[in-house]
Amino acid sequence: MFFQLIASGVAIGATYALMALAMVIIYKTSEVLNFAQGDMAMLSAFIAFMLLTSQGLGFATAFAGALAFAFCLGAFLEFAFLRRAKEPTVLGLIIITLGLEMILYGLASWKWGGDQKDFPFPVSDFETYDLGGGVVMSQLNLVTLAVALALMLMLFLFFSYTKVGVAMKATQQNESAARLMGIRVNRVLMLTWGISSVVGAAAAFLIAPTDTLVPNLLWTPQLKGFSAAVLGGLTSLPGAVGGGFLLGVIENLFGGYVSVEFKSVVAFAVIVLVLCFKPSGLFAKHYVRKV
């Protein structure tokens, strides 16, 4: 039972890690917590659902179209709302993201209603594989883990070895200096939101088959992703990944050995404990600003 709970927790933690990555990508560049992340991903999942059911497109085409929509949505929201804020503060920008969250939720509720919909997915959540040692994982869990790891590797390579990724790092460290070095900060921020939206949409595609497609689909996973980001460190991409997997395992062990009913409380307890004892997160460095 212990190893089964660990394996299931790792699979669940992969989706938390993706949501955490989506939030950390934006936070690292602009120090803004995007609380519209879940609803941006939810809207992309509905677009994929519409392309699959109404338009009759194949899975590859529908998902590619939905990911392209996700990128455009993220870039548009940054360009149309965040960039237009006059004399913005970090708190003001966070409040804007909360407003965007409600706008996107209302838009999805108006367009598709609150009825539960089954999200068609080419991978089964019922076909299982015996990995040995009493560990059984579904086909969807294995695909979720593989996709999450592939996306994490791609992001690591992007931020480490591309000019755009380095420009994003420079913007996060010192926006004024980045401008002086010729980096087009506004374009970098818009691209950051687009990439973050794509990562969130990928998480939504993997979460929707295990649940029903409704406008509040990503509310709980977004909070779990935020908890994972706080646990690992809001300034660390590897920390967000580690926090996601760790949270998934801790939550699953708590549900298996303590109480299933209070399983969801673990994420919020993690936020409180980490902020009290190690505000920078488990895997991020704490910097003290000297004046």
pLDDT digits (tens, 9 = 90+) for 73-120: 999 999 999 988 877 888 899 999 999 999 999 999 999 988 889 998
Please write the tens of the pLDDT for every residue from 149-176.
Answer: 999 899 889 888 888 888 888 887 778 8
Please give the pLDDT value at position 279: 80
CA atoms of 208 and 162, how far apart (whole Å): 32
pTM value > 0.85? yes
189 closest CA partner among 262, 113, 272, 80: 80
Here the tokens at position 31 are 């120090």
pLDDT at 291: 45
Instruction: Write down all domains in the chain, each with its CATH number in brackets.
Output: 2-277 (1.10.3470)
160-175 burial code (b ≥16 CB/10 A, e <16):
eeeeebebbebbbeeb
pLDDT given for residue 287 in this prediction: 52
Given CA atoms 184, 86, 237, 5 in this order, what sign does their dihedral have? negative
User: What is the spatial distance between Cα 14 and Cα 264, in angstroms, rounded to a whole number?
Assistant: 16
Give me the residues of the chain with pLDDT under 70, please.
284-291
What are residue 135's phi and psi, to 5 degrees?
-100, 125
Which residue do the tokens 């594989």 mark? 129
pLDDT at 286: 56
